[in-house]
Amino acid sequence: MLDLVFWAPVMIGGLLAGGSCGLLSVYIVGMRIPFLGVCVAHAALAGAVFGALAGLEGQMLLLPALGGAVVTATLLGLADPRKINMDANVVMGLLFSVTMGLAFVGFGLFSVLGKSDNDVRSLLWGSLNYCQWNDVTLMLIAFGLLVIFVLVFRKEMRAIMFSRLDAQAVGIHATAVWTVFLILAAMLITVNFQTVGGLMIYSLITNPAAAAFQLTKGNTRTMVLATILGAASGLGGFLLSAITDLPSGAVIVLVSSLVVMVAAVWARLQKR
């Protein structure tokens, strides 16, 4: 007999995490900034670590995690690569190393202070224990916000993805729209990383788009397909994880990577 109390939030959580990260992945891969996932996830992790050190626990850890992620995303958005003469990926690398350093200094402080770091350590890998109805609600809100953003700013994001400089040249407020997007992405990654895992979310914000780009073209079709592939990877990964008792993040990575491989083979066969 299926234990719906456990399985229902897991399945819906998997769908939402996969779908929202899949939609996000179109922009992440489109802009060639897959590093954003690890960068923001580590910023969130650093926030959570210092929140835990300050005595916060459970859902309350989300607040400092969100703070760390949003500050990092804002810095990334305002750093115009052309003005600072540095590629976005280099800026991300810099912020990633700083936030990772902070997070691991924080982990070191747990032992110095004689505290347990179990709560935050599990954030690195993701756990289905976190996937309860209140988590699903947060995932749903984050997904809803992303969908609203996409509907409102789709044409601006399409231009920014093509070229941020060109978008500015045609009179689009590229920096403002891009910064809002990054903040939203940071929120979404933070909300999802406790179930998918801080390290594993990287694959979920790149693989669905990588697969969709192989199979179709055009902005709308790609976004719809990436969302579906992401949702399928998320749901499939969560279910497999629940059945096998393996870490959810690792299983999602393998499932979404398999989707990319199948898409690549399919695209190659279609070209013959």
Partner 1 sequence: MNSNAIQLEKLTVRAGRKTILAIDNLSIDRGELVGLLGPNGAGKTTLLRCLLGLQKHARGRVQVLGKDIKTLGARGLGLLRRRIGYVPQLLPSHSEMPLTVREVVAIGRTGIAGLFHPLRKRDWEIVDEWIERLGLSSLAAHGYTQISGGQQRKTLIARAMVQQPEVLILDEPTANLDMGWRERIVEIISEFYQLGNLTILLVCHELEVLPSCCNRIAIIDSGELVADGSPGDVLSEEMIRSLYGLGFDLLAGNGRYVVVPSEVAHA
**Local structure of residue 14 (DSSP, 8 states):** H
* Alpha carbons 27 and 133: distance in angstroms, whole number: 28
**By CB under 8 A, is residue 133 in contact with partner 1?**
no
Residue 136: CB minimum distance to partner 1, A: 30
53: part of which helix (H) or strand (E)? helix 35-53
Q: Which residue in 70, 100, 102, 63 sits closest to 55, CA to CA?
A: 63
- In the three-class reduction of DSSP (H, G, I as helix; E, B as strand; rest coil), residue 100 is classed as helix
Residue 88: CB minimum distance to partner 1, A: 9
- Taking contact as CB under 8 A, which single stretch among the options 129-137, 139-147, 210-218, 259-267 is the one that binds partner 1? 210-218
When the beta carbons of 103 and 174 are compared against partner 1, the nearer one is 174
Residue 167: CB minimum distance to partner 1, A: 7
Site residues (CB under 8 A) for partner 1, limited to 54-113: 82
Answer left, alpha or beta for residue 221, where phi above 0 means left and psi between -120 and 50 means alpha: alpha
Q: Following DSSP, what letter does each residue of 248-266 receive, concatenated?
A: HHHHHHHHHHHHHHHHHHH
Residue 181: CB minimum distance to partner 1, A: 13
Q: Rule CB under 8 A: choose which of 105, 152, 246, 261 binds partner 1.
A: 152
Q: Enumerate binding residues for partner 1 (CB under 8 A).
A: 26, 29-32, 82, 152-156, 158-159, 161-173, 176-177, 209, 213, 216-219, 222
